[in-house]
């Protein structure tokens, strides 16, 4: 490790507090990510990690829990007994009921000296945000050298998110507030910017003159995954579109920022988010999975999973528009759902046809170019281009669409793929806000989402049933087909 200084010359934070340290996110993602940063010597050797939650655990109890989590969630090739043992020595635990102010002094006493910096990761129920912020402040855990990372859900609509943001802002200024959208920590999502702004090829054609429409698909095969209460109160629109999908849309649609830095990039993203046109009720489709089979395995309906009837959508498809010069008349079709045929995050940019087909007299049929950016599970960029099929054509020319393939997994085969949270936790510790969501972005996202929900309420829209393991309700197909567009399945 060369040095432990951030670009602004501060010492790296030597302390990290994880709220919700016994929760699912901590076990699956945060502890394995911190372990990876430790094993690769990316965090300062003296950085201590303090877990806190309601459970009455000792330091050793927390270390045992962490060891079990690493056992379960670390890939085998990352398990190194020596590194695990030294990682566990970094861990400490303080039980805390965040709804009361009393326990915070004990937490501060446990953490001790924070003069060299402190990063806090808050992954907690929305109702605990405000008391937690107050508690941190009263215990002296909110000073100038403290940064706070906030995990979603940050509210359920514009108003409740503004309330949380106000409570945070009263104690932590925006430059010390790190709102997490884990999609921004994904390597492939950052690659969208590299693709667009590190190549000459795409930018000149990246506009309504040349692009017919864009599709953004984030589908999952999983269902409720033990989060029934949260999910049923949330639904697909707020769980996935409000954050991850709108961030993807913003990265695809934004103007080139002047620099790769937090202010320049977020300034451009927020312009896109503010330019989103309200979606009329007829341009959105909601669905809820019924019985079916996913990858050959029979699965139950949402109602059965939940154990109750519900009007919560587990699928949503939308036709969105960005009202600016670059994107005038270009629909952005978005869809996301649980219990779908495949796990897939993908962006499809459909170009317009060439203005004149010179092959028409030789029966040469042309398809317009398509750019497919697959974010997960595979990582590739595929450009579908027209080519002539080999042959000594006498009176006709046979043209065929062939893929120009860039497999990122192959091109970077020797490079380990990191969990999004590895990157984000390191950025939080080091104070780099580039991949975090600024308040004005979140607010623009909520405004647009709230309007959609309002149209659903006014029209009494109810989710349409779809077979688990399929591609959503037929109305989602109709949403694009009526524009002469097919989803890229
Ligand atoms: C989370 C949602 O934000 O993202 C989950 O709350 C969803 O419902 C998850 O499953 C998807 O993330 P990923 O990284 O698996 O695509």
Q: What is the pLDDT of residue 10?
A: 45
Q: Which atom of ligand 1 is nearest to the CA of 220?
A: 10
Residue whose CA is closest, atom 14 of ligand 1? Answer: 183
pLDDT tens profile 145-155: 999 999 998 89
Span from the CA of 488 to the centroid of ligand 1 (angstroms): 21
Measured in Å, residue 165 CA sits from the centre of ligand 1 at: 22
Does 9 score more than 80 pLDDT?
no
CA distance 351 to 487: 14
Active site annotation includes 213: no
Average pLDDT over residues 86-98: 97
Q: Label the pairing between strands 211-219 and 399-407.
A: unpaired
The torsion angle over the Cα atoms of residues 228, 232, 233 and 235, rounded to 10 degrees, is 120
Protein residue with its CA nearest to atom 15 in ligand 1: 220
Q: CA 169 to CA 162: how far, in whole Å?
A: 10
Q: Which fold has domain 15-180?
A: Rossmann fold (3.40.50)
Active-site pick, 213, 244, 321, 488: 244
For residue 99, pLDDT beyond 70: yes
Is the C-beta atom of 151 inside 6 A of ligand 1?
Answer: no
Element (H, E) at 453: helix 439-459
Note whether 130 and 167 are within 8 A (CB): yes
Supply the pLDDT for residue 16.
97
Q: What is the DSSP letter of 80?
A: -
Phi, psi of 466, deg, nearest 5:
-135, 155
pLDDT category at 12 given cuts 50, 70, 90 is low
pLDDT, tens only, 417-460: 899 999 999 999 999 999 999 999 999 999 999 999 999 999 99
Higher pLDDT, 56 or 123: 56
Q: Is the CB of 220 under 6 A from ligand 1?
A: yes
Ligand 1 atom having least distance to the Cα of 243:
3
By C-alpha distance, which of 240, 324, 349, 331 is closest to 279?
Answer: 331
- Distance from residue 373's CA to the centre of ligand 1 (Å): 19
| DSSP structure string for 259-310 | SSSHHHHHHHHHHHHHTBPPPPGGGEEEEEEEEEEETTEEE--HHHHHTS--
Work out the mean pLDDT of the chain and round it to a whole number: 94
5: pLDDT strictly greater than 80:
no
Asked if the model's pLDDT at residue 4 lies above 70, the reply is: no
Kindly report the three-state secondary structure assignment for every residue of 391-429. CCCCCCCCEEEEEEEEEHHHHCCCCCCCCHHHHHHHHHH
Note the pLDDT tens digit of each residue in 173-186: 999 999 999 999 99
Q: How far is the CA of 450 from the centre of ligand 1 (A)?
A: 21
The pLDDT of residue 123: 87
- pLDDT category at 124 given cuts 50, 70, 90 is confident
- How far apart CA 292 and CA 298 sit, in angstroms, is 6
Atom of ligand 1 nearest to the CA of 376: 16
| Spatial separation of the C-alpha atoms in residues 238 and 314, rounded to whole Å | 10
239 C-beta closer than 6 A to ligand 1: yes
* Å from CA of 449 to ligand 1 middle: 18
Which residue lies with its CA nearest to atom 6 of ligand 1?
239
Closest residue by Cα to atom 2, ligand 1, is 239
Complete edge-to-edge strand list for the sheet that includes strand 91-95: 91-95, 48-53, 15-19, 118-122, 146-150, 177-179
Instruction: Check if 187 has its Cβ closer than 6 Å to any atom of ligand 1.
Output: no
Distance in Å, CA 18 to ligand 1 centroid? 20
Q: What pLDDT band is residue 7 in, cutting at 50, 70 and 90?
A: very low
Tens digits of per-residue pLDDT, 219-235?
Answer: 999 999 889 999 999 99
- How is the chain split into domains, by residue range? 15-180, 185-417+433-481
pLDDT the model gives residue 13: 54
Contact 250, 332 (CB under 8 A): no
- Cβ neighbours of 148 (radius 10 Å): 24
Rounded distance, CA 436 to CA 176, Å?
11
181 Cβ closer than 6 Å to some ligand 1 atom = no
CATH topology of domain 185-417+433-481: Dihydrodipicolinate Reductase; domain 2 (3.30.360)
Tokens of 110: 């446990």
Q: Which residue has the higher pLDDT, 303 or 9?
A: 303
Question: Are residues 180 and 151 in contact, defined by beta-carbon separation less than 8 angstroms?
Answer: yes
pLDDT digits (tens, 9 = 90+) for 316-367: 999 999 999 999 999 999 999 999 999 999 999 999 999 999 999 999 999 9
For residue 239, the ligand 1 atom closest to its alpha carbon is 6
Average pLDDT in the 159-163 region? 95
What is the average pLDDT across 198-220?
98
Query: For 277-325, what is each residue's pLDDT tens digit?
Result: 999 999 999 999 999 999 999 999 999 999 999 999 999 999 999 999 9
Nearest to 15 by CA among 126, 143, 132: 143
pLDDT score recorded for residue 409 = 86
């Amino acid at each position: 490790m060369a040095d432990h200084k951030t670009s602004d010359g501060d010492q790296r934070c030597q302390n990290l507090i994880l709220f919700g340290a016994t929760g699912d996110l901590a076990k699956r993602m945060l502890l394995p990510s911190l372990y990876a940063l430790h094993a690769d010597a990316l965090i300062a050797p003296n950085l201590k990690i303090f877990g806190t939650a309601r459970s009455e655990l000792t330091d050793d109890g927390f270390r045992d829990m962490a060891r079990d989590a690493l056992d379960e969630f670390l890939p085998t090739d990352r398990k190194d007994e020596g590194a695990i043992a030294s990682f566990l020595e970094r861990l400490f635990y303080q039980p805390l009921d965040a709804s009361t102010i009393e326990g915070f002094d004990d937490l501060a006493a446990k953490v001790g000296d924070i003069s060299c910096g402190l990063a806090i990761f808050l992954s907690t129920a929305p109702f605990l945000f405000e008391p937690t912020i107050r508690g941190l402040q009263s215990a002296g855990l909110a000073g100038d050298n403290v940064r706070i990372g906030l995990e979603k859900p940050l509210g359920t609509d514009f108003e409740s998110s503004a309330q949380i943001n106000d409570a945070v802002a009263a104690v932590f200024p925006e430059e010390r507030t790190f709102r997490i959208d884990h999609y921004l920590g994904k390597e492939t999502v950052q690659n969208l910017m590299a693709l667009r702004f590190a190549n000459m090829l795409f930018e000149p054609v990246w506009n309504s003159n040349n692009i017919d429409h864009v599709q953004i698909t984030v589908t999952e095969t999983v269902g409720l995954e033990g989060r029934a209460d949260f999910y049923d109160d949330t639904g697909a629109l707020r769980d996935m579109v409000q954050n991850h999908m709108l961030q993807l849309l913003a990265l695809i649609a934004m103007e080139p920022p002047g620099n790769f830095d937090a202010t320049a990039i977020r300034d451009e993203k927020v312009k896109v988010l503010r330019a989103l046109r309200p979606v009329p009720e007829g341009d959105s489709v909601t669905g809820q999975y019924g019985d079916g089979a996913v990858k050959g395995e029979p699965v139950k309906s949402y109602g059965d999973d939940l154990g109750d009837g519900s009007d919560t959508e587990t699928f949503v498809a939308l036709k969105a528009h960005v009202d600016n010069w670059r994107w005038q008349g270009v629909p952005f079709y978005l869809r996301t759902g649980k219990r779908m045929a495949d796990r897939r995050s993908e962006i499809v940019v459909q170009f317009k046809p060439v203005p004149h087909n010179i092959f028409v007299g030789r029966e040469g049929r042309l398809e317009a170019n398509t750019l497919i950016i697959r974010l997960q599970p595979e990582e590739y960029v595929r450009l579908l281009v027209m080519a002539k099929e080999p042959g000594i054509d006498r009176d006709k020319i046979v043209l065929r669409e062939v893929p120009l393939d860039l497999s990122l997994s192959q091109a970077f085969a020797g490079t380990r793929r990191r969990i999004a949270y590895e990157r984000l936790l390191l950025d939080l510790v080091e104070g780099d806000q580039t991949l975090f969501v600024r308040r004005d972005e979140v607010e623009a996202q909520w405004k647009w989402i709230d309007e959609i929900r309002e149209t659903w309420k006014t029209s009494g829209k109810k989710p349409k049933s779809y077979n688990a393991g399929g591609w959503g309700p037929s109305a989602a197909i109709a949403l694009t087909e009526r524009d002469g567009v097919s989803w890229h399945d």
